[in-house]
Amino acid sequence: MNPLTPAAFLLRGLVAGVIAGLFTFGVAFTLGEPSVDSAIALEEAHAAASPTPADDDHDQPGMVEVSRDNQKSWGLLTGTLAIGAALGGLTALAAAAVVGRLGSLSARGATALTALLGFVAIALVPFLKYPATPPAVGNAETINGRTASYFGMLLISVLAMIAAVVVARRLMTRFAGYTSVVVVAVGYLAVVGIASAVLPTVDELGTFPADTLWYFRRSSLLTLATLWGVIGVVLTGLVGRLYDQASADAERRALAASL
């Protein structure tokens, strides 16, 4: 029985994602939440000084108020664990699909590369076009348009990355690995660059303090890097051990058959 099954990869991806979620919670809570608190304080101060009182959602039937302490502790932890498990599972399935199909890369190398490409396509490139914004930033009337633009950029980036991997595999049968990588990298950058230029730009910062915005976005990017970095490191190690066990079992079976 072959132990290198998608289910085996998925299980290890979920484990890696949960571990990454724990680390991500620590980074987000330590570096990100102070900036969120500052932004919320600015939003509340602006609302208090506004001549038109804001609508009070707390008095509406069916609304449940969640305290800020719960939001940045248990709520944040639940979110990072859920997102970590989901991304870990998807990364593991993607690794299962490409292991042994990326030239001479080993199972560890292919898994690490999958995590790296996932970070670039899913996290980094959309962030560069539409960086995270704290509370009190952005017009509530444009939130649907901004959300659609972000997911449009995300979709284009992911599809372009998948196409780049497929094209790279085909080019490697004709050209050197370095040449193939350079060609598909330029192609990917061209596609996401054009998409970034075509999609609308969001500029709704107003008078929001630049230092608070900088700290928030820096912590957001570090949080994303932590999530994907831990997934990559842990999943690479787990897949590597699985591959080593499978290789050892195959060698034992071959030796037993030769006796």
* pLDDT given for residue 50 in this prediction: 60
- For residue range 201-240, list pLDDT tens digits in order: 887 666 677 788 888 889 999 999 999 999 999 999 999 9
pLDDT at 160 over 60: yes
pLDDT, the chain, mean: 85
The pLDDT value recorded for residue 238 is 95
pLDDT at residue 196 tops 80: yes
Q: pLDDT tens digits, residue range 90-111?
A: 999 999 998 888 777 888 999 9
Predicted model pTM: 0.85
In the chain, where are the structural domains located?
1-48+69-137+209-259, 138-204
Using a pLDDT cut of 90, give the percent of the chain over it: 49
Angle at 219 between CA 217 and CA 221, to 5 degrees: 70
Percent of the chain with pLDDT over 70: 85
Mean pLDDT of all residues in 195-199 = 94
